[in-house]
Amino acid sequence: MVDIIRKIGYFLCIIDETPQLNLADVAFIIILGKIIVATTVDWASLATLAIAVLNQMHNRQTVTSPDIMNMTKQIENLQNTVTSLKAQL
């Protein structure tokens, strides 16, 4: 039952992979829902939506950085292994 709730939360972008509550995505969903339902859109809602979108973009940018660092280390290790095998031949 908990696994199903996690999958639903991940699909709706409420939680991330770790699974931790992702407040930027929750705020984005709430503000977007408010703008869709509202008859008139005010500037405060649009500014809040812009901040939520920018926060989401920043989170995605910073979350991928450790993956790139790990991949770079793996490539360097692979290059060192290939170099050592080449030297043995």
Domain boundaries, the chain: 2-88
The two tokens of residue 39 are: 């008859």
Residues of the chain below pLDDT 70: 63-67
Question: Does pTM surpass 0.75?
Answer: no
Which pLDDT value is given to residue 57? 80
Report the alpha-carbon distance of residue 89 to residue 10 in Å, rounded.
49
Which pLDDT value is given to residue 65? 55
Please list the residues that pair with 21 across neighbouring strands. 15
Note whether 45 and 38 are within 8 A (CB): yes
